[in-house]
Amino acid sequence: MARIWAAIRSNRGFLAPLLVFGLIRTAVADYNPVPSGSMHPSILEGDVVLVNRLAYQLKLPLTDIVLARLAEPRRGDIVTFSSPQDGTRLIKRVIGLPGDVIAMRAKRLFLNGHQVTYSVDGPVSETDAQGVARAGTLMRENLGENPYDVQWLRSIDNRPDFGPIRIPPDRYLMLGDNRDNSADSRYIGLVARERLIGRANRILVSVDMTGDWMPRFARFGKSLYE
């Protein structure tokens, strides 16, 4: 034990910054590499997003214990959270807030009895894990303060309709923007507030991890709410 404390004392100049960085990352700000395409077209595989851990609540570092609520999630926010199914960290968009009644019919969302409005942005194509190109449609979904793009793919196992369901207190319904290729609340269930990690704000860096691994400089620093 004496040797351990001696080693700590002799390396405190190196260990102290690591400890501070660890506390900041677990309580204040974080970065999140994105390995999947569930948030196409907003977020691509190989993007690293900046996450504000103080956007909604202050947690005891390294735990899900909420010390204070700071703000409420909003429709359209992109958030990171731990999956209620297995604890995996996921990134999705907030669609349903507590008290909302949400349904999906024929790939269209209904919020509190009213269909969300859409506009067609054009065709889209995505190559799946088997190298097969899947055609689809890019749509502008007008939900929340900032409309955003979602995509629907044809010739794929479409995700099912659901609802209407009323969102209970302190629960949120999350969907991926890539609606036919996302394991979201349609499969993992609603997400409890204490499982929220933070709000993703922008892309820090990006590399083409499905291609040649070259940097995508045009995506560096890009806001997720443009």
**Residue 151 belongs to a domain:** yes
The residue segments making up the domain with residue 155 are 29-219
Q: What is the dihedral of CA 122, 108, 71, 46, to 10 degrees?
A: -40
pLDDT tens-digit readout, 153-167: 876 555 678 999 999
Token duo for residue 178: 């890539």
pLDDT of residue 4: 47
In whole numbers, what is the pLDDT of the chain averaged over residues? 85
- Residue 5 falls inside a structural domain: no
In a domain, 226, yes or no: no
**What is the total residue count of the chain?**
226
Specify if 1 maps to a domain: no
55 vs 5, residue with greater confidence: 55
Residue 122 has pLDDT above 60, yes or no: yes
Q: Token pair of 161, please?
A: 């309709």
The answer to whether the CB of 172 falls within 8 A of the CB of 190 is yes
Residue 83 lies in a domain: yes
For the chain, what is the domain count? 1
Q: What is the CATH number of the domain that holds 41?
A: 2.10.109.10
User: Is residue 46, in this structure, part of any structural domain at all?
Assistant: yes
pLDDT at 60 over 80: yes
| Side-chain-facing half-sphere of 24: CA atoms under 13 Å | 9
Q: Is residue 8 part of a domain?
A: no
Tell me whether residue 38 is in a domain: yes
